[in-house]
Amino acid sequence: MPPMPEYSKRTLCFVDTAVEQGFLRSRQPKLSKYAFLGLGLLLAFLAANFALFLFRGWPTGGQVFVDSAEGVRLAGARSWALGLMSLLCVAVMFTAKSVWLIACLGARGFEAFLAAVACLVVILTTLQHPWYLVKAFSASSPDEVISETIDWTDDKLLLMLDIWLTGCHLMLPIRWVVLWPVEIATILVYI
């Protein structure tokens, strides 16, 4: 059995760049496959969320916001965030299946690209939460704009962020050193 190539204990990257590049290239098909699958699942979840949004009442964002000009504006911002996240999923799914784009990005570049997309999903997920949406885009108090029937505690947001972060770590064959910006972004959007 050949000896194990030398690697960094902190980053788990191989010291020899040729070995590191070979390792990254060998994992590329698996990374593309799981990125496509994971984003497909996210897209299905977003489609269900959007269907509920439409079914429960479009102008007020599924009866999340009070029926006012400010509530309609915030519901529009929430639907834009939902649509932007859906478009991002479709674009990255296309990239994950495009041999030419992956070749242009390179193995390390594709990993960094997926980490950047995961950070954007964290930010857009936070904008789905009514309280954070009001704080980001309105001068009004959340009590004035959010409907009284909505439970806007942080538990659902924290659960969604935890599911996304755990899913990124479990589904994507990427070392932690590439995914640490996603961890930092998840903490920072909540603070």
Residues 158-184 have pLDDT tens digits of 998 999 999 999 988 888 888 999 999
DSSP letters, 80-122, are HHHHHHHHHHHHHHHHHH-HHHHHHHHHHHHHHHHHHHHHHHH
pLDDT tier at 21, thresholds 50, 70, 90: confident
Cβ atoms 183, 168 nearer than 8 A: no
Strands (DSSP E) found in the chain: none
Give residue 119's pLDDT band: very low, low, confident or very high (50, 70, 90). Answer: very high
pTM listed for this prediction:
0.82
* Cross-strand bridge partners of residue 7: 14
Q: What CA–CA distance (Å, rounded) separates 84 from 133?
A: 15
Long-range contacts, 62-71 (Cβ 8 Å, 24+): 63/147, 63/149, 63/150, 64/130, 64/146, 64/147, 64/150, 65/130, 65/145, 65/146, 65/147, 66/144, 66/145, 66/146, 66/147, 68/145, 70/138, 70/140, 70/144, 70/145, 71/145, 71/147
Separation between Cα atoms, residue 64 and residue 149, nearest integer Å: 8
C-alpha span between 178 and 118 (Å, rounded): 11
Rounded Cα–Cα distance for residues 175 and 69 (Å):
46
DSSP 40-52: HHHHHHHHHHHHH
57-113: per-residue pLDDT in tens?
Answer: 655 556 777 777 887 788 888 888 888 888 888 888 888 888 888 888 888 888 899
- Over residues 112-116, the mean pLDDT reads 91
